[in-house]
Structure formats: structure tokens, C-alpha cells
Chain A
């Protein structure tokens, strides 16, 4: 009271004849908690003496302020029933009673997950990988089972969903596949051309471009695009359905999520990836032919003539044959990942990322296996 100029302290303790009086002043609100905490902790309250709370100078009081005061006093050993309350408004009393009544003993720190040691981290990851592999294998098995069922009952084909997926996976991807492959053809022909010009062997560009694009570039680029585009879409869509319990609803309706969701996507991408790859072959050749005509003085007509002579059909077919395997890997990885999303939004994002990474790795692995397994496919 004496120092009216400086901001009033929020509380102070007076010792009277019949015990202690804690005088509350100013606002006891959430925004002032740190100040209240510092001030309260500085007081030497004796829990053995009677304590009176005097609110005649109290401004605003909210639940956070009331709670802080009561918990501090309780920790000191002065429970709420032992307090003598004076000068509180009816609402203030109601608030104190509410807070005192509701505050339960919350187990401290139980909410924070302890840090894991290195061994635990390694262990958890190994466990995760093992569990993931097991559930992945189970998923492939279930898909195979659903496929077998579908072959025995062809009437179960979900035509509508299949056509929707064919459009999403195939038709809508056409422009980007063509553009990418055309540009790859341009770059490839340009780089090869620089080398070949040194030996005045410009026409050999056609040989290199033909084999490179048909055998590796077009299948890989298209598959990677599909992994990023359709694989991510499958996982995000199925994951969001999982979060919304839509997959549970499908099961409850007596339908199989494999028939309704997985197989149409699997068929769509297995059918579309070879077609898209063929389109990519053509677009790549067109790009290369343009560079050949502009920079290497190879007329477009003779480019295609030579391409026909030096590019065996087998090489083109080899490039196309790999793609259904790529497609199946992408679809299985994406759908499995979507089905294993946990029921929260962040999990959808994590699983979508994982799908893209895993399916690109899978595509390149499968490609390497094909390259090693069929080395004899050479012109």
C-alpha cells in the first residue's frame, strides 16, 4: 500500500493475532501466472497457522489464477477446506469451489514419452521392419486370394471403379508422360550427338537413342512418374478413407475392401503402365528426331528409317514387358500403405511419403533384376 507508484504486488502476507492473512490484489488471471508464481513462492506461509484469504482488493479472477493459488497452498499443506475466505464475490466463491472440487491428482510427467536409448531405437526399428514385412506379405496373400475369387466369379468386377481408375491413372497422366519423355529424348539425343559429332558418326545417335529409350528410359521414367502420381494418390485416398472409418463401413456392408478398392486400382495401373510406356517410347523418339533434324543434320525421314533398322522389336517388347511388374509393385505398396494408416491426419502424410519412396526403390530394384536376368537381349 505504501508504494502506490510502482505496480501493486499481487499478494502479501500479514500476521495477525488470530493467524495469517493473505491479501490478494489486482488480477489473478492466466496472463499473469508467471508473476503470481514468483510472488507466491516468495511468501513464507506457515501451514500450521490458520490462514485467511482476503479478496477485498482482488480484481479479476479466472480459473487458471484460482487453480494456481489453491494448488500452491495445497502443496504447502493448506488444503482448501482449511482456508478462511473473506471478501470474495459470489462468483469468485463459486469459481474457487469449482476449481477445488475438480482438481484431481494428475499423474505428473506420465504424458511425456521418455527418450529411448540407442538399443531400444534399433530394436523398435527391427521390430517395425519385421512387422511391416509380415503385414506386407499378408496383404499380397489377401490380394491374391481376392484375385482368385474374382477369376471364379467374374461378375464381381467393379466396372465403375475400374473405369474411374483407368481414367485417373491412364488418361490424365498422358500429357505429363508425353512431355517428360519428349524432353528426355531431346536431352539424350543432344548429349549423344555431341559425342558422336566428334567422330562424325552422327547417324549412330539413332542407335543409342533407340535402345536407351525403348529399353530403360521410357519404362523407368513412366514408372517413377506413376509411383509419384498414382501411388501417392492411392495411399492418400485409402488413408483418408481409413481415418473416416469408410473402410470399416465397406466391410460392414458385407463387401471386401480388396474387391472394391485394391483390385480396381491394381488392374488399372497394370493395364495402363504398358500403354503409357509405349506412348513414352514414341514421344521420346519424336524428341530425339527433332534434335537430330535441328542439330545433327539427320532428316526426320532417315532418322525413322534407321530406327527401324537398328532397333529390334525384342528390345521394345523387353522394355514393355517389365512395366506390368513395376505397376503391380506400385499398386501393392500403395494400397498396403494406405490400409495401414493409423487414425490420424499426420499418419496419412507419412504413409504417402513412404509409398513414393518405397515404390521408386522397388521399381529400380525390379529393373536391375530384369537387367541381370536377361542380359542376352541385345541388338
Chain B
């Protein structure tokens, strides 16, 4: 299985000019950004994932939904290479994570960002230093004024107020922590973003603002996004496509309107929580 996949040259994605929307819009034709094939994970004697497969095409916002404990966070950790799956294959930008060396994986990490469920900001650094950290690591030759300029931009893009830059993470509200974490995830101009429950713990107004920030960023920066969420409003308002994870398998994959109509007990009760209102 893996040979057939790796035979395809991975260069197609990388040479795609970032600024050209014509190629972005023809997303269905271009090579996938993320490919997950028959992924299996065993945790505590239980198969958390038992043959999970899906793909992400450039420019898409895809929502991954499933009950609490269905393995969404674990799956994201595997996609970014923090965990190894117990079976199956994960490809980012056409390259098989399992076959990559440490160096190649480090280089690849510059091309995607991850927003952890609780932000995972460095608690001993100010917000601005948190955003500057990836720039310092990967672009050490960038002069301090240029780095500050980029940091200010990312904070502004993530929708943080000016005075947040010099605060410590422990002084931020939940919504601001998420925004600060988003700014850090955006620091290196990633092509791909993984977001773990970006709007959980936010009030509905902040959550919608976060969604619209994300939409604008995706449309104008040409990002591809995979997010997990429990927020039905994000699902309807933001996601181009929904993937439903249930009992270790993908039971639905398609536009929200279609998925919401599927006759499956879990999907029914998931979407019906909103229909009651």
C-alpha cells in the first residue's frame, strides 16, 4: 500500500505558488496536503482508532467531530508527528511521516502549525516572546526590528489587543490565550494548521469572532485547516467539510449539509441537540 503512495512525486504541492488563487480554487485537482490511510491506535488495551482514512486538499477547512474521548486529540498528535500510530500511514505534503528522518521532520514542521487544546503557551514567556520563539528558532538571522514587526502583525492577525503583547500567559483570559496560541501557530507562515477545539471555553461571541478571524486568514493566506470541535456553529459557519469519528472509524465524510442528514444514531443525536432550540 505504501509503495503505491510514495510512487507519486511529492513535489507538486511544494512548488504551488502561494499567492495564486486560481490554483487554490482548483483544489480538488491538486495533490492532497494530508493523507491518512488505515490508521490504527491502541491505548490502554483498546483500539482508539481502527482503520481511520481521510484526505485534506489545499485550501479546505475540515472539521473533525466525535464524542469526548473518541481520539481526536490523539489523531492530531499523530498527524504532527508527536505520537506514532500503531498501524497505517500518515502523509503530510505527500511525505510519509514514518519514513522521515529527524532533520526532514524538523524542516516539515515549519510548514504547519498546531494550536493545542489548552494553548500550551510557554508560561515563563510574555505573549510577544511566545510568538517570537518559532521565529528565533527557525529564522535566527532575522533582525530584531523585523522580528518585532512580524510578531506585531501575527498578534494583530489573531485579533489580540495591543496591550496583550507584554502580558504573561497566566494573565490572559481563555479567549486571549487561544488567540495568542493562534498567533504563535501562524508565526512561520504555515500552509497547514491543526486546531484542537479552538473555540471550546469561549463565549459564543468570542467563538464567532474567532471563526471569522480564521475564515479570513484561510481565504487570504491560502491555509488548509483541520480542526476538531464540539461547536455546531463553527461546523455550520466555518467548515467546508466534516469528518465524523465514531468507535475508531470514520463514519461520515462530506459537506455539513449532507452529513447532518445521515441516518446514524450518534450523528442524529449530535445534530439534534441544536434542532431542539
Q: Which residues of A contact B (CB under 8 A)?
A: 29-31, 33-34, 37, 58-64, 67-68, 71, 89-92, 94-95, 97-99, 102-108, 110-111, 243, 342-347
Q: How far is the CB of A374 from chain B (nearest CB, A)?
A: 46
Residues of B within 8 A of A346 (CB): 123-124
Residue contact B17 to A60, C-beta cutoff 8 Å: yes
B162 at the interface (CB under 8 A from A): yes
Secondary structure of the B side of the interface? helix
Partner of B156, one of A64, A90, A103, A111: A103
Contacts A91-B19, A95-B221, A344-B170 given; indicate if A103 touches B153 (C-beta within 8 A): yes
B99 at the interface (CB under 8 A from A): no
Contacts A103-B156, A343-B170, A346-B123 given; indicate if A91 touches B222 (C-beta within 8 A): yes
Residue contact B166 to A104, C-beta cutoff 8 Å: no
B149 at the interface (CB under 8 A from A): yes
How long is the Cα–Cα vector from A102 to B179 in the complex, in angstroms?
A: 14
Residue contact B146 to A37, C-beta cutoff 8 Å: yes
Q: How far is the CB of B185 from chain A (nearest CB, A)?
A: 13
How long is the Cα–Cα vector from A290 to B165 in the complex, in angstroms?
A: 65
Residue contact B219 to A91, C-beta cutoff 8 Å: yes
B37 at the interface (CB under 8 A from A): no
Partner of B152, one of A60, A106, A347: A106
Give A36's nearest chain B residue, CB to CB: B146
Interface residues of B in 1-52 (CB under 8 A from A): 17-22, 24
Interface residues of B in 186-240 (CB under 8 A from A): 186, 188-189, 216-217, 219-222
Residue contact A347 to B124, C-beta cutoff 8 Å: yes
Residue contact A63 to B153, C-beta cutoff 8 Å: yes
B128 at the interface (CB under 8 A from A): yes
Residue contact B220 to A33, C-beta cutoff 8 Å: no
Known pairs A30-B150, A33-B142, A67-B149 / 19 extra A-B pairs, C-beta < 8 Å: A31-B139, A33-B150, A34-B142, A37-B146, A59-B17, A59-B19, A62-B18, A62-B19, A63-B157, A89-B19, A89-B20, A89-B21, A97-B220, A99-B153, A102-B159, A103-B156, A105-B162, A106-B152, A110-B166
Contacts A34-B142, A37-B146, A67-B153 given; indicate if A344 touches B188 (C-beta within 8 A): no
Q: How far is the CB of B186 from chain A (nearest CB, A)?
A: 8
Between-chain CB contacts (< 8 Å), 29 pairs: A29-B189, A30-B139, A31-B139, A33-B150, A34-B141, A34-B143, A34-B146, A62-B18, A63-B220, A64-B149, A64-B189, A71-B149, A89-B22, A91-B21, A91-B222, A95-B220, A102-B156, A102-B159, A103-B152, A104-B162, A106-B152, A106-B155, A106-B162, A111-B126, A111-B128, A344-B124, A344-B170, A345-B122, A345-B123
Nearest 10 CB-CB pairings of A with B: A346-B124, A344-B123, A91-B21, A343-B170, A94-B220, A60-B18, A95-B220, A61-B19, A106-B152, A111-B166
Residues of B within 8 A of A37 (CB): 146
Residue contact B17 to A67, C-beta cutoff 8 Å: no
Give B147's nearest chain A residue, CB to CB: A33
B168 at the interface (CB under 8 A from A): yes
How long is the Cα–Cα vector from A59 to B156 in the complex, in angstroms?
A: 25
B169 at the interface (CB under 8 A from A): yes
Residues of A within 8 A of B153 (CB): 63-64, 67, 99, 102-103
How long is the Cα–Cα vector from A31 to B123 in the complex, in angstroms?
A: 28
Residue contact A30 to B188, C-beta cutoff 8 Å: yes
Residues of A within 8 A of B165 (CB): 106, 110-111
Residues of A within 8 A of B21 (CB): 89-92
Q: How far is the CB of A378 from chain B (nearest CB, A)?
A: 52
Give A65's nearest chain B residue, CB to CB: B189
